[in-house]
Amino acid sequence: MVNTISLMSLLSPWVALEDERLKSVQVCELELDSRKVKKGTTFVAVIGHAVDGRSFIAKAIENGANAVIAEACTQHPHASFEFHKEVPVIYIRELNQSLSELAGRLYQCNSQFIAVTGTNGKTTITQLIAQWINLLGQSAAVMGTTGNGFLSDLQPAANTTGSAVDIQKTLSTLSQQGAEYTALEVSSHGLVQGRVKALDFSAGVFTNLSRDHLDYHGTMEEYAQAKLSLFEQHQCRHAIINADDEIGAQWLQGTTEAVAVSLRTPQTHDKALWAEQVVYSDSGIAVSLDGYWGKGELNVPLIGAFNASNVMLALATLLALGFDKEALLFCADKLQPVIGRMELFQTPGKAKLVVDYAHTPDALEKALSALRVHCDGKLWVICGCGGDRDTGKRPMMAAIAEQLADRVIISDDNPRSEDPTLIVKDMLKGMQKPESAIVEHDRFNAVRLAVESAGERDIILLAGKGHEDYQVLRDKTVHYSDRESSMIVLGITE
């Protein structure tokens, strides 16, 4: 089903267009990229971080655009319009901040939306929520790092949180395909840039806050404020907040309406969920829980304390939305680990390999700490840091690896335009004994070296790439997957 709206109606919240020539213009698709414009598409020309879309108006019209909505400026003030080859170009001020509402007026959607924000855990929580809803007989989709769509058919996504237009377009498509709920990973970039500004979230979840994206936000305070905006500046009916996180605990002090979730301590909030006991084993996590919805026993086949937190946050979210507690607990043991998130690969006689997306100091610390509980032998870690990103976390990552693992291999992780040797040099500065680290830039060789050197009781953490199947180098992007490397080296066939 294609949604259609007249151009005049679409823009009515911002401008009143009276010209007779505009009355017949119908909008059925919006596009920010002039290269994707085809006959009948309406091109939206915004000023991006690197490119001014107005420079491509002529190209969009050449490709078949039936109209152009562009950012206003001194030369073309708000509400003015002109015609290029009989195609109308209408100028709107602060168009970037209006994109979410603009797209939402065209792309209608009947689903409920759940937003998950925080440094770590977004992918796992959104997918656990979707899995749980599906297990209970309803239909749920996800949007985020590992792709958009239903869990059985995820389509690749360029960013954790897409453009405001792409988000509304995808949500509408998923709704038409039967999604009753869509759980979205909402990045700090997406919040600051207004990409989800007009969405009405049934629930919003805050996972945790640790060092990341300071190359964009500048300070941890600004980064935290970006996350907080989900609850203060966006429509969000239920707030679910991790009380074990320092920032989350601070936010909870300022509200009585949020749902407080903790693995450690009973909460005094009117609505809260906490763990009275958590038991970790080779088969997973067992939680005895209590709170606003009463007591219960939760058993899930996942690894680590942070996954216990992820599951509790997902459970609290669904409880807040009105799902039955007993039904949720009954099917919890059918929940599955997320691809590339503490994903275990093993074969008899060789060390276990665990692939995880941990690419921040906090995530690496949590992953190694989680595996230490399960490790009877030596704990290995293979990690690196991305190029063209926050350099300050590089020595921190290596320091954590040295502190928590028995053996450290430093390898490449998307060096991009930087010299990989310089990235490794930055990392080694954080180690007390840098000479003890093994440096192997080729990541596949690093995996093979670790398996050949490790004992069968050892565990090797491949940290940083998770679900990714590429390596970004200076001049090209090549195929590479930690998951595939693990299976090849261990001799596992799917």
DSSP assignment of 438-454, as one string?
Answer: EE-SSHHHHHHHHHHHS
**464 assigned ligand-binding residue:** yes
pLDDT at 331 over 70: yes
pLDDT given for residue 377 in this prediction: 96
**118 assigned ligand-binding residue:** yes
**199 assigned ligand-binding residue:** no
The SS3 of residue 130 is: helix
**Where are any strands of DSSP class E within 243-283?**
259-262, 271-281
Which domain-ending residue is among 287, 305, 334? 334
Q: How many domains does the chain have?
A: 3
**160 assigned ligand-binding residue:** yes
Which domain-ending residue is among 334, 367, 390? 334
**207 assigned ligand-binding residue:** no
The closest of 37, 65, 69, 31 to 165, measured between CA atoms, is 31
Which domain-ending residue is among 282, 313, 334? 334
Q: How many CB atoms lie within 10 A of CB 178?
A: 12
Q: Are residues 84 and 117 in the same domain?
A: no
**218 assigned ligand-binding residue:** no
Mean pLDDT of 216-234: 77
Q: Are residues 305 and 251 in the same domain?
A: yes
- Per-residue burial over 281-311, b if 16 or more Cβ lie within 10 Å, else e, is eeebbbbebbbbbeebebbbebbbbbbbbbb
Mean pLDDT of 179-203: 92
Q: Are residues 174 and 286 in the same domain?
A: yes
pTM summary value: 0.83
Q: Are residues 304 and 316 in the same domain?
A: yes
pLDDT at 82 over 80: yes
Residue 307's alpha-carbon distances to 147, 296, 349, in angstroms, are 20, 18, 27
pLDDT given for residue 217 in this prediction: 45
User: What confidence category does residue 494 fall into, taking pLDDT thresholds of 50, 70 and 90?
Assistant: low
**407 assigned ligand-binding residue:** no
**146 assigned ligand-binding residue:** no
**159 assigned ligand-binding residue:** yes
Q: Are residues 141 and 189 in the same domain?
A: yes
CA distance 459 to 343: 12
DSSP for 298-359, written as a single string: EEES--SHHHHHHHHHHHHHHHHTT--HHHHHHTGGG--PPTTSSEEE--TTS-EEEEE---
DSSP for 165-220, written as a single string: HHHHHHHHHHHHTT-SEEEEE--HHHHHTTTTTT-EEEEEEE----S--HHHHSSH
Q: Are residues 219 and 325 in the same domain?
A: yes
Mean pLDDT of 83-96: 96
- pLDDT tens, 238-268? 999 999 999 999 999 988 899 999 998 888 8
CA distance 487 to 232: 45
